[in-house]
């Protein structure tokens, strides 16, 4: 079966074949660990996970890398402003590395909650400074760089193919254009490979000696002259992805992923600096996920519309419902987040799990044995084989998850294949989707706290007086807390987590 992916480089669907037979190498841009990752970031990571699982389903061995950015990502894409990690450190009164480790842990915990398989390698930028310096020195030798008073820059005019990914001409590049007037950049699109710890970065805590690669422990020990002489500084954001991807996957690898926001600057720059250094094609396929939006617009801290996996859990919603919610829309389309839509994904997930449980019967261990001992392909009937083929062709067609989900539900809810086939197909498809469909649905009863007990007593009184408006009002208050009230026949009010 042919696999087709939409390659951002060239902007069309192309037949995918890995460089090495049966083995696919993937690099995905990971999180900048300076604050809690939000569900928009997780759309990108769920997408990368889907890609990996799909390729494994289709018979490939996958080697994947996701970087952890713990130094060098400035608040502005135009190489100015504070480092996000240092900003986080100032906000919380702890060191930048303590910030990085704290939010890296949150990120890793969330990966687990979302059933995202850990990439083969998860390298940290701060632990690959030597590789980054080496790459910059290579570029210096080949004449692609120049120095300004605040850093070492890549000269984009020297790289012939600059702009190929985004389709922008160099003179149209917006990035950096506004600061170009006052900066010493030769071209607006030029970008920092290394920033010196001077000027607005004078107090940067994470600094390394560019000549020796050694990290500096005390910022007070260096004078500006010393700093300039030893080029004491820190890497620009883009160079880490080139250095680490090539270290783990080689000079040319199969697939690079990230959100669409990375196309015009970050990924364009990754291509330029990597190919300039190696004279080889950097990446064969560039796959980009569209944005998760809220109210049709961008999520942002200032608007207060950022949500985390914790927020989802606090509403009693299974984090895997967010996975299902993402798969309901193709990864190259914008996806608007609402709590209503997520809650209906949660119900859809429950329905699937309920149905699966019914089909499996009570004794799961026994059924597991039956499934385990049967090779997947053997003795599947014609219709079951067709379902499997349809599912494979849906994911081979640029990861068409809405279609894959429809096929899964047909298998789950439909008739015409045996229960054993249903069970085997669903388990197999779930290896791609990672929805834990064989997990039983447990209704979680809540022990009401004092305040909730008071509200329940008020509601009971209101109902006795047939004041249903008040009763509904109280029900709505519980709904806001992610809870629902069930009225038992005995008259008792049972509080449960809301579906
Ligand atoms: P960052 O931590 O900002 O470097 O982002 C990590 C990944 O999340 C990148 O691949 C971004 O492109 C992606 N990303 C950020 N915001 C969103 C969003 N709202 N929807 C989808 N992907 C996003
Ligand atoms: Zn990157």
173 lines ligand 1 (CB under 6 A): no
More confidently predicted of 473 and 82: 473
43 lines ligand 1 (CB under 6 A): yes
Beta-carbon contacts of 485 under 8 Å, excluding residues fewer than 6 positions away, are 456, 459, 474, 475, 478, 493, 494, 495, 496
CB under 8 A, 24+ apart: contacts of 125-129: 125/67, 125/68, 125/69, 125/70, 125/71, 125/72, 125/235, 125/240, 125/244, 126/70, 126/71, 126/97, 126/100, 126/206, 128/240, 128/243, 128/244, 128/247, 129/208, 129/213, 129/215, 129/235
More confidently predicted of 141 and 82: 141
CATH fold for domain 317-326+337-433: 1.20.120
> What per-residue confidence (pLDDT) applies to 222?
72
pTM, two decimal places: 0.86
The mean per-residue pLDDT over the stretch 217-230 comes to 77
Ligand 1 centroid, distance to 76 Cα (angstroms): 15
> What per-residue confidence (pLDDT) applies to 294?
93
> What per-residue confidence (pLDDT) applies to 290?
97
Judged against a pLDDT cut of 80, whether residue 441 lies above it is answered with no
For a ligand 1 pocket test, name from 44, 264, 305, 329 the mutation site with the most ligand atoms within 8 angstroms of its C-beta.
Answer: 44
Judged against a pLDDT cut of 50, whether residue 369 lies above it is answered with no
Domain spans, the chain? 18-289, 317-326+337-433, 450-497
The mean per-residue pLDDT over the stretch 362-384 comes to 58
Among all ligands shown, which has an atom nearest to the Cα of 240?
A: 2
Ligand 2 centroid, distance to 431 Cα (angstroms): 27
**pLDDT per position as a tens digit, 479-488:** 888 888 888 8
Ligand 1 centroid, distance to 41 Cα (angstroms): 4
Cα separation values, 386 from 15, 63, 76, 378, Å: 22, 30, 51, 14
Judged against a pLDDT cut of 70, whether residue 241 lies above it is answered with yes
> What per-residue confidence (pLDDT) applies to 218?
66
**pLDDT per position as a tens digit, 157-186:** 999 999 999 997 666 555 444 444 467 999
Cβ distance 402 to 345 under 8 Å? no
Model confidence at 342, in pLDDT bands (50, 70, 90)? very high
Please tell me the residue having the least CA distance from ligand 1 atom 2.
Answer: 31
The mean per-residue pLDDT over the stretch 336-345 comes to 96
- The class that CATH gives domain 18-289 is alpha beta
Atom from ligand 1 closest to the CA of residue 291:
20
44 lines ligand 1 (CB under 6 A): yes
The mean per-residue pLDDT over the stretch 17-38 comes to 96
CA 64 to chain centre: 14
265 lines ligand 1 (CB under 6 A): no
**pLDDT per position as a tens digit, 188-217:** 999 999 999 998 888 888 899 999 999 987
């Amino acid at each position: 079966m042919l696999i087709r992916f939409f390659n951002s480089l060239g902007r069309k669907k192309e037949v995918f074949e890995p460089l090495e037979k049966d083995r696919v190498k993937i690099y995905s841009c990971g999180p900048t660990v300076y604050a809690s990752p939000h569900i928009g970031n997780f759309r990108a990571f769920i997408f990368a996970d889907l890609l990996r699982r799909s390729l494994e389903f289709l018979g490939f061995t996958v080697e994947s890398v996701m970087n952890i950015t713990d130094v060098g990502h400035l608040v502005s894409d135009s190489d100015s402003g504070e480092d996000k990690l240092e900003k986080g450190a100032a906000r919380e009164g702890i060191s930048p590395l303590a910030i990085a480790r704290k939010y890296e842990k949150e990120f890793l915990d969330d990966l687990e909650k979302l059933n995202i398989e850990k990439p083969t390698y998860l390298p940290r930028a701060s632990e690959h400074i030597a590789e980054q310096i080496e790459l910059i020195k290579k570029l210096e030798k080949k004449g692609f760089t120049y120095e300004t008073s605040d850093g070492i820059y890549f000269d984009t005019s020297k790289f012939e193919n600059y702009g190929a990914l985004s389709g922008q001409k160099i003179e149209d590049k917006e990035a950096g254009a506004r600061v170009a007037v006052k900066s010493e950049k030769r071209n607006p699109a030029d970008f920092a490979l290394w920033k010196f710890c001077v000027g607005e970065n004078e107090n940067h805590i994470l600094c390394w000696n560019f000549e020796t690669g050694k990290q500096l422990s005390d910022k007070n020990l260096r004078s500006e002259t010393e700093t300039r002489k030893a080029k004491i500084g820190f890497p620009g954001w883009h160079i880490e992805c080139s250095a680490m991807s090539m270290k783990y996957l080689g000079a040319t690898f199969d697939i690079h992923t990230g959100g669409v926001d990375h196309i015009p600057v970050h990924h364009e720059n990754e291509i330029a600096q990597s190919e300039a250094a190696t004279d080889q094609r950097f990446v064969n396929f560039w796959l980009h996920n569209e944005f998760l939006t809220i109210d049709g617009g961008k999520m942002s801290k200032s608007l207060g519309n950022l949500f985390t996996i914790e927020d989802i859990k606090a509403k009693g919603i299974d984090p895997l419902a967010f996975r299902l919610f993402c798969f309901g829309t193709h990864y190259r389309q914008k996806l608007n987040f609402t709590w209503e839509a997520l809650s209906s994904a949660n119900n859809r997930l429950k329905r699937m799990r309920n149905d699966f449980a019914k089909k499996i019967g009570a004794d799961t261990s026994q059924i597991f044995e039956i499934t385990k001992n049967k090779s997947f392909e053997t003795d599947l009937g014609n219709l079951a084989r067709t379902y499997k083929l349809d599912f494979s062709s849906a994911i081979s067609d640029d990861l068409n998850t809405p279609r894959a989900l429809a096929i899964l539900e047909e298998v789950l809810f439909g008739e015409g294949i045996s229960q054993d086939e249903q069970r085997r197909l669903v388990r197999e498809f779930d290896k791609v989707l990672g929805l834990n469909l064989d997990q039983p649905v447990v209704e979680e009863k809540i022990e009401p706290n004092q305040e909730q007990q008071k509200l329940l007593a008020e509601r009971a009184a209101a109902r006795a007086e047939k004041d249903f408006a008040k009763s509904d009002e109280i029900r709505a208050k519980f709904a806001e807390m992610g809870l629902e009230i069930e009225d038992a026949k005995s008259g008792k009010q049972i509080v449960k987590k809301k579906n």
